[in-house]
Amino acid sequence: MKKQYYVNGEWKSTTEYADLLSPHTKEVIAQIPQATHEEVEAAIDIAHETRKQMAALTAYERANILEHITQLFIENRKKAAEIISLEAAKPIKYALAEIDRTIETYKFAAEEAKRITGEMIPMDAAKNGANRFGYTIEQPIGVIGAITPFNFPQNLVAHKVGPAIAAGNTIVLKPASQTPLSALFLAELIDQTELPKGVFNVVTGSGKTVGDALVKSDKVKMITFTGSPAVGKGIRDSAGLKKLALELGSNSGLIIDKNVDLAQIVPKCVMGAFSNQGQICISLQRTYVMDEVYEEFLEQFSTLTNKLVIGHPDDESTEISAMIHPDEQERALSWVKEAVEQGSNIVSGGTIEKGIFLPTILTNVSATSKVSCQEVFAPIVLVNRISSIDEGIAAINDSDFGLQAGIFTNDILTAFKASKELEVGGVMINDIPTYRVDQMPYGGVKDSGTGKEGLKYTIHEMTETKLVVWNQQ
């Protein structure tokens, strides 16, 4: 029950522990070490001392270690999924799907470890470049501080640990306080590999203490953070000149054109709006549907939503369970109330039943209601009517965020226009904004953050490009 954190290949105890509660049953499932500032600094020191040993590993060795991690996840698929389900109340079928993606993420990292290359520079193309021979190399940057959220406790950690190892860096990982068990399980797996001890470290505790120590340390050369915009902005203000990757939230939007096959689209929309209780950074939050198909879409969408199976996360048929914390459910409820006061209608859900916030569809939502203009991070989706594609594009762009957006259309020019005009990091044509595979470049604009994830892209951010010029005379 009492867990330890992991530094230099050793399991460590501390003085303070916090109870970890199951979001679903509210029972205590573990006691988690709350590391002190000094203990975090000690972990950073170890990662700093090990950085040269790690940088000396060959691409072949780094790829083999990542292959081994992949294999260990394949062997421990069920156990890893059960841990996610226990600590995050993620229905088990989605927790298994997360582990399948985690396996792919480490596999991609292993493959990318072998493809880290620089480029030749045509030095003699410049007037003063004669007889020079130039090229770039990508070098590891040293200690990476990784701070991760609760909603994908294994795969979003993999998006930081995989590329950090591929690039030859060392890591201190601070997982979300609600989901430390997945990170500690990863440490158990990594401990079985040839990765030198001290390269990968997990320190548990509060964002304020552990996160802050990582962000402010001079020995940490890059912070890779996935989490809320508010915390991301705070990190940016205190990180000084270190490299930063900030993967933040959004209020993702979707446009549905006329003349589309609703029967194909609606199940995807239900999935996009409600999977993981809407606690996904690219969850479908705002749907703008053309007049001609609006009523039919709403009818099909609410019918399918009302069929979602609500229950215990362990149950294989469950599709919706409790949100991460009762306070979060109360917040979601208050946002729905505000929307209704401002003129919205509730088509489905809008209440908490047996401790679970029900999947909620709202219509006629004002752009200034919180459920529209802020990140809702709950199983709530709005469906508003539009009379032109321009209106839909303008509505989606009327946002502080810009992670991904989607459009369903059969008109090639409309699709092309949307791809150019939507102010987001990724446009999904004939897909929901929630679509993601792990090797694609992924990251937002505006308050959705800076930097791209997707193994190749993260590796680039986790290395320094060094230029070498030879004078051949």
Active site residues: 247, 281
What is d(CA 5, CA 210) in angstroms, rounded to the nearest whole number?
Answer: 12
Is the separation of the CB atoms in 281 and 248 below 8 Å?
yes
The correct pick among 235, 361, 389, 405 for binding ligand NAP (CB under 6 A) is 235
The correct pick among 281, 290, 320, 336 for binding ligand NAP (CB under 6 A) is 281
Q: Which 242-271 positions form the footprint of ligand NAP (CB under 6 A)?
A: 247-249
Q: What is the amino acid identity at position 231?
A: V
In the complex, the smallest distance separating the C-beta of residue 31 from ligand NAP, rounded to whole angstroms, is 15
Q: What is the DSSP letter of 139?
A: E
The correct pick among 167, 176, 181, 202 for binding ligand NAP (CB under 6 A) is 176
The correct pick among 22, 228, 374, 430 for binding ligand NAP (CB under 6 A) is 228
What is d(CA 343, CA 62) in angstroms, rounded to the nearest whole number?
Answer: 57
Q: How many CB atoms lie within 10 A of CB 199?
A: 24
In the complex, the smallest distance separating the C-beta of residue 158 from ligand NAP, rounded to whole angstroms, is 12
Which range binds ligand NAP by CB under 6 A, 83-91, 204-212, 289-297, 354-362?
A: 204-212
What is d(CA 212, CA 237) in angstroms, rounded to the nearest whole number?
Answer: 11
275 near ligand NAP, rule: CB under 6 A: no
Residues near 291 by Cβ (< 8 Å), separated by ≥ 6? Answer: 258, 385, 386, 387
Going residue by residue from 309 to 348, which x/- string records binding to ligand NAP, judged by CB under 6 A?
----------------------------------------
Q: Which 433-452 positions form the footprint of ligand NAP (CB under 6 A)?
A: 449
For 16, half-sphere exposure in the C-beta direction (CA atoms, 13 angstrom radius) is: 10
The correct pick among 151, 217, 276, 287 for binding ligand NAP (CB under 6 A) is 151
In the complex, the smallest distance separating the C-beta of residue 147 from ligand NAP, rounded to whole angstroms, is 5
What is d(CA 275, CA 436) in angstroms, rounded to the nearest whole number?
Answer: 13
What is d(CA 382, CA 17) in angstroms, rounded to the nearest whole number?
Answer: 41
140 near ligand NAP, rule: CB under 6 A: no
In the complex, the smallest distance separating the C-beta of residue 345 from ligand NAP, rounded to whole angstroms, is 26
203 near ligand NAP, rule: CB under 6 A: no
What is d(CA 339, CA 286) in angstroms, rounded to the nearest whole number?
Answer: 13
Q: Which 363-382 positions form the footprint of ligand NAP (CB under 6 A)?
A: 375, 377
Q: Where are the beta strands (DSSP E) in 196-335?
A: 200-202, 220-226, 243-247, 253-256, 286-290
Is the separation of the CB atoms in 414 and 389 below 8 Å?
yes
Cβ closest to ligand NAP, residue 403 vs residue 462: 403
What is d(CA 289, CA 359) in angstroms, rounded to the nearest whole number?
Answer: 19
The footprint of ligand NAP (CB under 6 A) covers: 147-151, 156, 174, 176-177, 206-208, 211-212, 215, 226-228, 231, 234-235, 247-249, 281, 375, 377, 403, 449
